[in-house]
Structure 1
Amino acid sequence: MQNKGLIKTFAILFGLICVYYLSFTWVNYRIENDAKEFANGDVAIENAYLDSVANVPVANYLYTNYTHSEIQDKAINLGLDLKGGINATLEVSVRDILMGLSDNSKNPVFNKALADATEAQKGSDKTYLNLFFEAFEAESKGSTKLSDPSIFGNKSLKDKVNFKMTDDEVKSILQEEVTASIATAFEVLRNRIDRFGVTSPNIQRIGESGRVSIELPGARDIDRVKKLLTGTAKLQFWETYDNSETANFFIQANAKLAEILKSEEETKQEEVTEETDSIASQDSEIDDLLGKVQDSIDTKAASPLFSIMFPSIPQNQNQRSSVVGSASVKDTALVNKYLAMKEIRALLPNDMVYTKFLWDAKPIEKTEVINLYAIKSNRSDVAPIEGDVVSDASQTFDQLGVNPEVSMTMNSKGSKLWAKMTEENVGKFVAVVLDNYVYSAPNVNGPIPNGRTSISGNFTIDEAQDLANALKSGKLPAAAKIVELSVVGASLGQESINHSAYSFLIALLVVLLWMVFYYGKAGIYADIALVVNIIFIMGVLTAFGAVLTLPGVAGIIITIGMSVDANVIIYERIKEALDKGKVLKEAIREGFSYEGAYSAIIDANITTFLTGVILYIFGSGPIRGFATTLMIGIATSLITAIFITRLMIDWSANRDRKMTFNTPITKGLFQNINIDFLRKRKIAYVISGVLIIVSIVSLATNGLNLGVDFKGGRNYVIRFEEPVSATEVAGTLQNVFGDAPEVKTYGTNNQLKLTTAYKIEERSIEVGDEIQEMLFNGLQSYLPDGTTFESFKISSDDTENKIGIMKYEEVGPTIADDIKQAAVWAVLGSMLVVFIYILLRFRKWQYSLGAVAAVFHDVLIVLGIFSLFYKVLPFDMEIDQSFIAALLTVVGYSLNDTVIVFDRIREFTHKHVSWPFYRVVNEGVSTTLGRTINTSSTTLVVLLAIFIFGGDSIKGFMFAMIIGIGVGTYSSLFIASPIMFDTTKNLKEKE
């Protein structure tokens, strides 16, 4: 090998760089461990400790010039499945953008087209804008144009759209406007996330779909994150009515409402009386109960509004207030319904007809009571001052330095408007409204000429900071809805780390021992190269800021099994050369040559690398993490096997010319094999045919256990103190949700996975919280005494012994369809790419056909096994994105095997021209059998270690891999080569 000195220097420098980057992870671990010891289990104290040292140089550790915050940035980034946190896909509402561009048009054709497009989007992969165009054309039938003044030919678009324009011209403009709005939304969200303060946030646009993927590993406050992401930050300043101006209206409204509801209440009373007469005659207790019910009905009928809302009616001038009433949080929806009734709004005086009622941003401290305000709106519902005039905002404290508030600065336009508004309302009230919630409505003591103002509202510091960030980042051009959500509690993430580390060490130990057992001294060099490879992988991941996820850990562990493959191929080639009588150094040169092992190694690794690329393109989140580690592992394993191992082998050969590549036990094992594989191909075809037919029948009748990734819904992993019955829990929750959720044991018998489609079309924060509360109430009989809702619901501050929701996933039906489609394209795309690559490398389509047929065979059988046994086996066998990652890895591994066999057949074709092709194929398969069995066995042992000792969430993933590797090894021997042989018509011969 030439340039040994250069290679040594490169290896040493690269290794030192990797160790340097990994050292940050070690120091960060030490600091966080100190925080845990100091806190003694108290999460709040632990967080306070870390905050206190965030900007302090860590002189007592390895580095003196870096603060903990800087070290944390340089440490390896753990994904949310290892660290806890939130992963969300947000979709910016194109419907809302179009509504805004139309100035909230009331045109019936326009609104019908919007409604039709919204409905069509549920089952279509087209963009919302294109669906709207199609719906508008169908509804208008040419009679109404997009440039109509009542639609897009309005004042806001007057510089771009005029009534003479054709629909096609307007469509082009709308496309530009929507694209610009989505780009603005992305920038707003990115600015909010950048200021949020989590380590290594990841935010990416997903094509032109209007979707944004956001990953926040280690996010501590899940509710806070969701509000930050979905709030539009639409800031408005309104004049308000005070309680003296609304008092008479509420009194009249209460009386009118009593009149409207009286007949309904009397009807209900009659129905209750009729149904309970016979029972009441038998039980006096029920008589008492009916009396109480009757009293309650009478009270509500007489005062329906004031029974749920407390009006603020001042007795004198000193009691004037911007608060016009209050109600319990749970009653706000009903109050809104009453106040929106036509008969009630008709009671408003002529100068108050555009009044709108808005609630406070949060309840009164330590109560569930929230205040109501009456806003002086107008016909167009446009505020006198909006948030676009805010030039800066920051979290500060009030004059006493105690209560957090938000200080704002306005631009020149805003300053003039604010000065005028405050001057006109001296002695009155002005409300600061954000996303239709009132944050403060103070009394104006005097004009404010400098454009400075403060927002106060009983904030915590975090709430004030988030509000300031939202105002500074700007408002979203349209609402952003969470269409896919995954939340992992911190304790579950820590368990995943523990399981991963355990399985990693076991897998590594097994491989290291096996290589020494099988290859002797040469196996030690392969082990050293393997350890160096792991250091390289981790170093590269850290240096480039890649995120390490649970599937990513699996990718590294799989790389352990696969990276020895290169050394196995090289060593087997060296052994063959030694058997032919070549001296040691010559045999080593042949083993490390392109004609020897390199050709097979490069082809096999490129095909696997290509599947990793496909995974990265079509995958997201943890799947991309898996693809990243897989690709990095393939690249570094090539470097370590070809260069690092070669350096050590050459060094040893120069010192010990009697070096061997086996042990007394393994000497001669798998050598001089001559099996007539082609003669057995018809039996293999029959066996495979039966398996494929059974798989197809099962897929057609039994189907697959689709996860929420592919069908939409919500998943909850819930841990209990004692073992629970999945069937009993499903029955209990049927009373809560109406339909029984799908419930199954998840790992241990005190942990369940619940899947429900309840209100899946509604994906607001409130619905997510509602479902968690329904679960909490429905599962009361299974929870320990004293369990609170706060401790039960999902949180990244979970303690080690948490009882409650450990993990939560939510996927809307529309994005589920998109994920399913992307998965199909990923599998088909990988097959197509590999077909083309093998065609280019082997120059014969028969090789490509044999390889792809074997892959198709493997994929179908793995799907069939999952279809047959998902109701039987005691672990989760859902078909989700992780399963697709496993399937594509199986594709890569199967191709790896097949390409190595094909490479030997190609070699023998050129080397033994006189041999009949029948013999060439048999010899090619037979001479690679040792390598095939060795590598497959090693990889399977690694996978079994992960399957047995890894976390519950990865068992289905590993099971698919184990089945796939077994089937893939079989197909490379009995399917790929025979099909290639049978389709090579010009080389046919008699058997």
Structure 2
Amino acid sequence: MQNKGLVKLFAFLFGLVSIYQLSFTFFTNSVENEAEEYAINKVDNTVANYVQERAEVEAKYLDSVANAKKFIGFTYAEAKKKELNKGLDLKGGINVILQISVKDILKGLAEKSKDPTFNTALENADQLQKNADEPYVESFFEAFDAIKGDKKLASPDIFANRTLDDDIDITMDDETVKKVIREKVDDAIVSAFEVLRKRIDEFGVTQPNIQRLGNSGRILVELPGAKDVQRARELVSQTAQLEFWETYNTDKLVNFLTQANNLIREEQAPKAEKETTEAVQDTTATAEEDTSSKIDALLDTVDTDSTAVEVVANPIFDLDVREASRGRNVLGVYSKEDGEKVVAYLNRPDIRALLPAEMRYTKFLLGREVDLKAYEGRNVRLLGQKGVELYAINANRDNTPPLSGDVITDAQGSFSQNGEPSVDMQMNTRGSKIWEDMTGKASKENTNIAIVLDDIVYSAPGVSKGAIVGGRSEISGDFTILETKDLANVLRAGKLPASADIIQSEIVGPSLGQEAIDSGIMSFLIALSLVLIWMVFYYGKAGIFADIALALNILLIFGVLAGLGAVLTLPGIAGIVLTIGMSVDANVLIFERVREELTKGKGMKQAVADGFNNALSSILDANITTGLTALILFIFGTGPIKGFATTLLVGIVTSLFTAIFITRLFVDWQVEKGNKLDFATAMTKNLFRNMTVDFLGKRKVAYIISFLIVAGGLASLATQGLNPGVDFSGGRSYVVRFEKSMNASEVSNTLADVFVEDGVKLPPNVKTFGEDNQLKITTKYKIDVSGTEVDEEVEQKLFEGLKSYLPADFTLEQFVDSAEDKEIGRMSSVKVGPTIADDIFKASLWSIFGSLIVVFLYILLRFRRWQFSLGAVAAVFHDVLIVLGVFSIFWKIMPFNMEIDQAFIAAILTVIGYSLNDTVVVFDRIREFMNDHPTWEFSKTVNSALNSTLSRTLNTSLTTLVVLLAIFIFGGESIRGFMFALIVGVLVGTYSSLFIATPVMYDTTKKADKEKT
């Protein structure tokens, strides 16, 4: 080998740089362990909010040492930016994809136009989007063009308005306007991205990730390590539409509320009386079965002291939990559910008609949900629980507030005069003047001013000391310090230009993440140990050299990932472990070729040189085909799948370097010293030597066997189908852990009673996930409805349905809490909306067909015969169909998850890569034999080539299978289905390269030769 000194220098430098990159991870981990230990010692574990307090103490400790602790000249804060990032599935945290509402943006640009053509086009665009791949704005243009008639986009009542006065005038044609609108929509999405970025920068998690996804209006937000799910949801989805309104005092609405209460009572009372009478009659009709006891039981349910009858008596007043009114502008205090019910009553057109003429634009808003400790001493019926206050807002015809949040120049968490956490805001000059006028009027008229954020009243203070000059204001309420910090952060960052719906989310608890790390490390060490032992057992001293190269390869992989700032995920660890199994393939190819050269009687030095040179072509071809599929997976994949592709790509490059150059260094060093190298042990020296298997003679039997297996799989696919995961079908999926073993069917039947939509029960799909006390629960309940409120509702219903299986004192907060030491409850959750599920499915199909096309073209270019490409692609289709068939047949039987999701697509692409890797090595040897033995019969050439590669084929397959089995058994439940697909793929891939790809190539070549003659 030439330039050995240069290779040594590069190996030394690469190794040194990798150690340097990884050293930051070791440093930051040690500091974080110190912080965790400090917090454990500092916080009493008996306090109610132990986990939150411990997290805050831990964060404060890390803040205090951020610039104090140093490592080789770098502070902890600087080192943190250089450490190896851990993904959501390893660290726990939150991952969401937000859809910025382009519809809202268009409405804003059109100044909420009432034009019927414009609004109909928006409605039609909603329908078009269900089956469209194009951005929403293009669907809107298509819908508008279909119904516009003589109407123009540049009409004064659409886009030729004050908002767009500098960009659009009434003389412009539609195509020109469309260009402007596209730019404005894109600007708005960029603005939303920047608002979210500013919020997230101050959220308090390390290494957050936020990125735009194409031009679809989607934004990916990853918060690894975030534990407070609700806080993170509000942060990313809150529009932050801040408004200041005057409120009406209670005395102005007493008559209205009384009239509304009486009207609703008159509607409900007859209905209730009728239902009671009918129920008693029904009971009497079955008197033979114990009449008296049944009537007594029914009468107990309609006792005059019961809450049900009280609600009928006074539908508005009796839901109020207070015994006496409090505050001049608080209309009532309710549970959140009752508050929403009362607002729905008050917004009915027939009820609103009861309002005085001068108050007809009144809007009724609820406050934020808070503890009811402020009402202590007033016999509050919900004392110790949470409630909301009801306010009447003095609104106007256009629903335009006197003052909005765009005047805020700064906001900081602070403390009110009574020492409670609050938020101080500073306004600009324009806002200060309006604020002075508003507060002056409120002080004179003895009214309050409501501070409203996204239609929720955060506080409604009175103004008793005259107008407030200078533009300073305060938001107070039952806040925690963390809540004031987040609220100030949101106000400083500004409002989103449109609503942001969470269309995909994944939440992983830290305990589940730690288990993933432990299982990943376990599978990694076991797989590595098995491969190292096998290489020494099979190749002796040469195997030791391969092991050293493999160890360097692993160091380089982790070092490169840290240097690139890549995120290490559980599939990423699987990719590294798989790389270990596949990277030995290069060494196996080299060692087998050297053994062949030695068998020919060549001297050691010449045999080594020829062996390395002859193996190079096969190594490059095999790794390029695998690399092409990994590259396509990287392009089309998202999240963890992209992590898998990244590690696979990095692993291919580092494997080539270590196998071709590092192993060669050690082998040459031994040869130059005159030491003997057999590239085998006594037990393996003659293994697979002089094989004469007639592979082509058995091809017809193989065709029949493959046909039967594929046909059986296709039949199952047609009848039983596959088990689509939420990635492709949409839905919400939860992993829930219990104290004892659970019956999946029983739980599904129980949950069917709570997941009821439009009167129809929707039993969820429930399956044991790993241990028998852990279930994976997937439901499509309200998946078409977006919003954090719906997510919370589904969690609430899930908790209600599972309550009987949980400890008696277990609360909803404990169930959904992401505590590090959590043993039971919701461990993780995934939500995928139907639109993005459809997009993921399409992208997956493109990735599969794209990889097949690219590889077909590469093999055609490399071997210059279409028969080779056809054989390779036929084998790939054969392998993919068998894997799909196996999943279709066994997904209801196997005790582990066999969903068809993005991870499964990654497995299919890896199977394609592996199958092609194996096939290309065989084809490369056939091409070599064709050149070396032009006078041989074609069948002899092919069979000889297959026999000569048999040792390599079986050796590589065995090491890869050992690795996959180690991950399958020890690598954690979340990737077990993924590994099973790979195991099946490696088995059929090895078989197909010998009995499908080569025979198809042979038969089509023979047919082509016959046609020529």
Using structure 1 for the length normalisation, give the TM-score. Answer: 0.95
For residues 464-504 of structure 1, give each alpha carbon's deviation from its aligned partner in whole angstroms, at most 9, with x where no partner exists.
11111111212111111111111111111111111111111
Give the SS at the match of 2:753: helix
RMSD: 2.5
Is 2:651 aligned against 1:643?
A: no
Give the SS at the match of 2:469: coil
For residues 243-272 of structure 1, give each alpha carbon's deviation from its aligned partner in whole angstroms, at most 9, with x where no partner exists.
233333323332343345455445445544
CA contact (8 A) 2:926 2:941 kept: yes
**1:127-276 counterparts in 2 under 5 A?**
127-138=135-146, 140=147, 142=149, 144-276=151-283
Is 2:785 aligned against 1:762?
A: yes
Matched residues in 2 for 1:143 and 1:364: separation?
57
Is 2:449 aligned against 1:443?
A: no
Out of 724, 746, 749, which is 1:731 matched to?
749
Matched residues in 2 for 1:931 and 1:60: separation?
55
CA contact (8 A) 1:395 1:461 kept: yes
Is 2:323 aligned against 1:282?
A: no
Out of 965, 970, 973, which is 1:949 matched to?
970
Distance 1:816 1:82, change over 3 A: same
Is 2:652 aligned against 1:634?
A: yes
Distance 1:753 1:302, change over 3 A: closer
User: Which piece of structure 1 moves more, 353-362 or 966-975?
Assistant: 353-362
Out of 842, 850, 856, which is 1:821 matched to?
842
Which AA in structure 2 matches 1:460? T
Kindly state the Cα deviation for residue 685 of structure 1 after the two structures are TM-superposed.
1.6
Matched residues in 2 for 1:885 and 1:299: separation?
59
CA contact (8 A) 2:212 2:220 kept: yes
**1:610-629 counterparts in 2 under 5 A?**
610-629=628-647
CA contact (8 A) 1:309 1:335 kept: no
Out of 929, 937, 941, which is 1:920 matched to?
941
Aligned to 1:841: 862
Aligned to 1:411: 428
Matched residues in 2 for 1:156 and 1:59: separation?
47
For residues 370-411 of structure 1, give each alpha carbon's deviation from its aligned partner in whole angstroms, at most 9, with x where no partner exists.
1122222111111122222222222223346x3222222223
CA contact (8 A) 1:57 1:66 kept: no
Aligned to 1:434: 453
Which AA in structure 1 matches 2:527? A
Which AA in structure 1 matches 2:134? K
**1:446-485 counterparts in 2 under 5 A?**
446-485=466-505
Give the SS at the match of 1:526: helix
Is 2:735 aligned against 1:712?
A: no
Which AA in structure 2 matches 1:408? M
Which AA in structure 1 matches 2:230? D
Out of 539, 542, 553, which is 1:533 matched to?
553
Kindly state the Cα deviation for residue 627 of structure 1 after the two structures are TM-superposed.
0.6
Out of 793, 796, 803, which is 1:773 matched to?
796
Which AA in structure 2 matches 1:880? D
Matched residues in 1 for 2:824 and 2:486: separation?
30
**1:455-854 counterparts in 2 under 5 A?**
455-593=475-613, 596-737=614-755, 738-793=761-816, 795-800=817-822, 802-854=823-875
CA contact (8 A) 1:215 1:621 kept: no
Kindly state the Cα deviation for residue 62 of structure 1 after the two structures are TM-superposed.
8.3
Aligned to 1:899: 920
Matched residues in 2 for 1:507 and 1:176: separation?
53
Which AA in structure 1 matches 2:292? Q
User: Which piece of structure 1 moves more, 548-557 or 923-932?
Assistant: 923-932
CA contact (8 A) 1:532 1:640 kept: yes
Matched residues in 2 for 1:782 and 1:324: separation?
40
For residues 676-709 of structure 1, give each alpha carbon's deviation from its aligned partner in whole angstroms, at most 9, with x where no partner exists.
2222222222221222211211111110011111
Distance 1:927 1:64, change over 3 A: closer
**1:39-54 counterparts in 2 under 5 A?**
39=40, 43-44=51-52, 46-54=54-62
Distance 1:214 1:666, change over 3 A: same
Distance 1:752 1:531, change over 3 A: same
Give the SS at the match of 1:151: coil
Matched residues in 1 for 2:306 and 2:899: separation?
53
Aligned to 2:380: none
Give the SS at the match of 1:426: helix
Give the SS at the match of 2:887: helix
Distance 1:312 1:69, change over 3 A: farther
Kindly state the Cα deviation for residue 132 of structure 1 after the two structures are TM-superposed.
2.7
Which AA in structure 1 matches 2:318? S
Kindly state the Cα deviation for residue 826 of structure 1 after the two structures are TM-superposed.
0.7
Which AA in structure 1 matches 2:997? A
Kindly state the Cα deviation for residue 988 of structure 1 after the two structures are TM-superposed.
5.3
User: Which piece of structure 1 moves more, 648-657 or 814-823?
Assistant: 648-657
Which AA in structure 2 matches 1:4? K
CA contact (8 A) 1:940 1:965 kept: yes
Which AA in structure 2 matches 1:89? I
Which AA in structure 2 matches 1:751? Q
Matched residues in 2 for 1:851 and 1:564: separation?
23
Which AA in structure 1 matches 2:500? A
Using structure 2 for the length normalisation, give the TM-score. Answer: 0.93
Kindly state the Cα deviation for residue 295 of structure 1 after the two structures are TM-superposed.
6.9
Distance 1:680 1:234, change over 3 A: same
Which AA in structure 1 matches 2:650? I
Matched residues in 2 for 1:608 and 1:723: separation?
42
CA contact (8 A) 1:54 1:67 kept: no
Aligned to 2:18: 18
User: Which piece of structure 1 moves more, 757-766 or 290-299?
Assistant: 290-299
Which AA in structure 1 matches 2:30? R
Which AA in structure 1 matches 2:124? D
Distance 1:751 1:691, change over 3 A: same
Distance 1:125 1:58, change over 3 A: closer
Give the SS at the match of 1:721: coil
Distance 1:176 1:371, change over 3 A: same
For residues 922-973 of structure 1, give each alpha carbon's deviation from its aligned partner in whole angstroms, at most 9, with x where no partner exists.
2222211111110000000110111111201111000000000010111111
Matched residues in 1 for 2:309 and 2:772: separation?
51
Distance 1:48 1:329, change over 3 A: closer
CA contact (8 A) 2:67 2:76 kept: no
Matched residues in 1 for 2:74 and 2:170: separation?
62
Give the SS at the match of 1:369: strand
Give the SS at the match of 2:827: strand
Matched residues in 2 for 1:293 and 1:653: separation?
101
Matched residues in 1 for 2:309 and 2:703: separation?
81
Distance 1:160 1:262, change over 3 A: farther
Distance 1:784 1:239, change over 3 A: closer
Matched residues in 1 for 2:791 and 2:511: separation?
21
**Structure 2: unaligned runs, 5 residues or longer:** 373-383, 756-760
User: Which piece of structure 1 moves more, 332-341 or 407-416?
Assistant: 407-416
Kindly state the Cα deviation for residue 346 of structure 1 after the two structures are TM-superposed.
1.8
Give the SS at the match of 2:692: coil
Give the SS at the match of 1:465: helix
CA contact (8 A) 2:957 2:986 kept: yes
Give the SS at the match of 1:86: strand
Matched residues in 1 for 2:145 and 2:282: separation?
54
Matched residues in 2 for 1:59 and 1:377: separation?
50
Distance 1:351 1:128, change over 3 A: same
Matched residues in 2 for 1:346 and 1:440: separation?
28
Kindly state the Cα deviation for residue 107 of structure 1 after the two structures are TM-superposed.
3.3
Out of 301, 304, 309, which is 2:320 matched to?
309
User: Which piece of structure 1 moves more, 860-869 or 22-31?
Assistant: 22-31
Kindly state the Cα deviation for residue 337 of structure 1 after the two structures are TM-superposed.
1.1
Matched residues in 2 for 1:404 and 1:294: separation?
41
